[in-house]
Structure 1
Amino acid sequence: MAGLRRSTLVALGLALFAGAALADPPRQDYRPSFQPDRLKGPAAGKPNEVLVLGTMHLSDLPDSFRPDMTAPLVERLASWRPTAVATEDMSGLQCDSLRRYPSRYAETVKDYCPDTVAAGKATGLDVPAANAEAERLLADWPAAPSAAQRRHLAALFLAAGERGSALVQWLRLPEGERRAGDGLNAELAALLDKLKDRRNESYLIAAPLAARLGLERLWSVDDHSADSPGPVDEKAYEAAIRRAWDNPAAHARRAEDDRLEAGLFRPDGLMAMYRAYNAPGVPMQVYLSDFGAALEEPSPQAFGRSYVGYWETRNLRMAANIRDVLGRRPGTRLLAIVGSSHKGYYEAYLNQMHDVTLVDVNAVLQ
């Protein structure tokens, strides 16, 4: 009997232990043994190199900013000789896809997707057809295309929802050839003339750089497929995230932005901003002020964790889009221009790729 009682007690004890373990599992320190970032290759051949430039959004800068201030930055970036330039724009194809799901993406399309109706009418092509035709032409693009060919390709890119690439073609034309014709009507030609001076990093930095280097297009790698209409209680969500953002790291970050903007009028003011935005400690400051703070936000609805989930998903998909570009032509030197809050995530995720070598942008900015 005593033996039976002891075995019964042991069984009960094990059951209680198992129940406790299920109810409150211990934190684990498991790390996978497979680490892709340590398996770089190939041993022979030209590597894929990626230079990530963290940027402020030029549209947010004070009135003291002038478009010509970007010239020294373009000069330094050109010295690195990228063979591809990626921008924080949504592709025309993704915009076309999101337009088909308005109950979820109506606001996203309104905020981030250019209107292609006028270009579609001028070319007779919808977004997928215009993309396909542009790709077909570029696959057999001559070394010295005529002005008519460039105007036609610019019109196709506008119909494809790729305004940055259309501007590259416009800037590659001699000024006297920047006119309507060959699929570009007067309305579209006027649009391209306006885009070249718009306060936007894709138009003032990426497109002029690509045109200067003899590239034919930009690569739109932003992704908003994780967007959604928002939580049921949007006011509570916004209040919770704003409380999380009210922290010392965020205050220090805003003070630094104010200091940099105050010096923007100086001869080297914009370059000073870019050096500061790309300093080694910035990604951690971004995390502490924003996503790390949101991760610990204590609302019962876990608003902060949902916000961080969206942010990580978006950056993973953006990094995947860059990897896709690199896979098209191995040995690419790609410049990725992206909002500075993305920079740390870009580099961390891209560094996991076997065939991606990161380059320090700070050496280029000096």
Structure 2
Amino acid sequence: MLKLPASLLACLMLAAAGPAQEAGAAFDPRDYAAHVHGEVTEVYVLGTAHLAQYDDFDPAALSGLLDRLEALGPRAITIEALGPETIFLMQAYDARYEGAVGYFARAALDGVRLAGAETGLSMPEARLAVDETLAGWPDAPAAAERRRLAALFSASGDIHSALVQWLRLDAADRIAGDGVTVELAALLDRLSGSRNENVQIAVALAIRLGHERVYPADDHTASHLMGRVAEPMTAALETPEFAVIFDHPVFAEALEAADWQSADALLDYFRKLNTTEYGHLDAEGQWRVMIDRAWPEDVGRVRMAEWDTRNLRMAAHIREASADAVGGRVLSIVGSAHKPWLDAYLDMMADMRTADIMAVLD
């Protein structure tokens, strides 16, 4: 049998498939969607407020939202939290980030400290052990297996996935053992009572759907950029240009006091946060103002660079998670300011599309 050089074989295959894009047209990865084998992966970006800041918020009021998200049936759920690799990197360069990782990943670092000491595994070793464990994960794991996986997730720096495992245990089985110390069990119990959306929406939904984990997708590895312009940035935020956004009717309506104990009212609040109009207004008010005028020390352009970098790296993490949901649905839960940017970036992928979360909320 005649063997062709790999380069020639590739050319013949491309010729047989035909051009994906017109000759002379600018390259656009979205044009490949028509050539995807199987279903295109859909990603739904849910914008949220950071719920823990509202003292009268009752997590039970999320029932209507959770019912709709459960019906959506995502195969992967991403959250606005730092993942193991990002935490490890920021720790290695802690002086550059001026301790930011301790602020953004406090609970995760507590889990690393407690579970790492008990398992004897470093973060990279625990991360690899998680992958190996999930690759051979049984359909009906024993309680000891779930506790062990909770310990491995904790030691790797993925505390929210550890919490998924912990809360999938029967209450009587949430005890120390199999790598979970008394202190780690207490940490997971405390985290389960957090009113943060990563716990009350993402973890709760993962448990409803029978998922084994959530996917941390946040990034703060460009936060060092803001360290060098902290003083002029503080001054910029106090100028009238930034006050204007909060006077806009759409913004004012969304920010008005909501009934944080009513399922219907809270669902309506999420609808307001996720409209295209709200997203455009937020981007105009927070970000165009950073680049359409002069600011001392170019603080606006530096701030825009930090924001773009964060969103692009978040998009990359979400894209990576989508490999576990090929042809299915991905739900990405983020602060509402990120939503318009992630909708745009994720819609550029060759075999996935941003879907309309409003169709789910309505």
Does the alignment reach a TM-score above 0.5?
yes
Aligned length, in residue pairs: 334
Residue of structure 2 equivalent to 1:37? 30
1:340 aligns with 2:333: no
How far residue 305 of structure 1 moved from its aligned partner, in angstroms, is 1.0
Residue of structure 1 equivalent to 2:267? 271
In structure 2, list runs of 5 or more residues that go unmatched: 1-23
Does the CA-based 8 Å contact 2:45-2:343 persist in structure 1?
yes
Q: Deviations over 1:150-207 (max 9, x none)?
A: 0110011111111110111112111221111111111111111111110111111111
Residue of structure 1 equivalent to 2:12? none
> How has the CA–CA distance of structure 1 residues 245 and 85 changed in structure 2, closer, same or farther, with 3 Å as cutoff?
farther
Aligned equivalents of 1:156 and 1:277: distance in 2? 36
CA RMSD of aligned residues (A): 1.9
In the TM superposition, structure 1's runs of 4+ consecutive aligned residues that sit over 6 Å from their partners are none
Mapping 1:219-298, distance limit 5 Å = 219-228=215-224, 230-232=226-228, 234-243=230-239, 245-252=241-248, 255-259=252-256, 261-298=257-294
Does the CA-based 8 Å contact 2:30-2:351 persist in structure 1?
no
Residue of structure 2 equivalent to 1:212? 208
Residue of structure 2 equivalent to 1:52? 45
Mapping 1:118-133, distance limit 5 Å = 118-133=114-129
Mapping 1:11-160, distance limit 5 Å = 33-61=26-54, 63-113=55-105, 114-115=108-109, 116-160=112-156
How far residue 300 of structure 1 moved from its aligned partner, in angstroms, is 4.2
Alignment match of 1:180 (pick from 176, 182, 185): 176
1:164 aligns with 2:160: yes
Query: Aligned with 1:49: secondary structure?
Result: strand
Aligned equivalents of 1:206 and 1:344: distance in 2? 20
Aligned equivalents of 1:233 and 1:337: distance in 2? 29
Does the CA-based 8 Å contact 2:84-2:158 persist in structure 1?
yes
Query: Aligned with 1:301: secondary structure?
Result: helix
Structure with the greater alpha carbon radius of gyration: 1
Partner amino acid, structure 1, of 2:71: S
Task: Report percent identity of matched pairs.
Answer: 38
Residue of structure 1 equivalent to 2:9? none
How far residue 357 of structure 1 moved from its aligned partner, in angstroms, is 1.8
Aligned equivalents of 1:350 and 1:317: distance in 2? 11
Residue of structure 2 equivalent to 1:306? 302
> How has the CA–CA distance of structure 1 residues 238 and 67 changed in structure 2, closer, same or farther, with 3 Å as cutoff?
same
Does the CA-based 8 Å contact 1:231-1:237 persist in structure 2?
no
> How has the CA–CA distance of structure 1 residues 209 and 231 changed in structure 2, closer, same or farther, with 3 Å as cutoff?
closer
Does the CA-based 8 Å contact 1:226-1:314 persist in structure 2?
yes
Q: Deviations over 1:216-253 (max 9, x none)?
A: 11111111111106354532232124326524333326
TM-score scaled by length of structure 1: 0.86
Aligned equivalents of 2:240 and 2:341: distance in 1? 20
Does the CA-based 8 Å contact 1:287-1:293 persist in structure 2?
no
Query: Aligned with 1:182: secondary structure?
Result: coil
Aligned equivalents of 1:283 and 1:258: distance in 2? 13
Once structures 1 and 2 are overlaid, which stretch shifts more, 240-249 or 73-82?
A: 240-249
How far residue 295 of structure 1 moved from its aligned partner, in angstroms, is 1.4
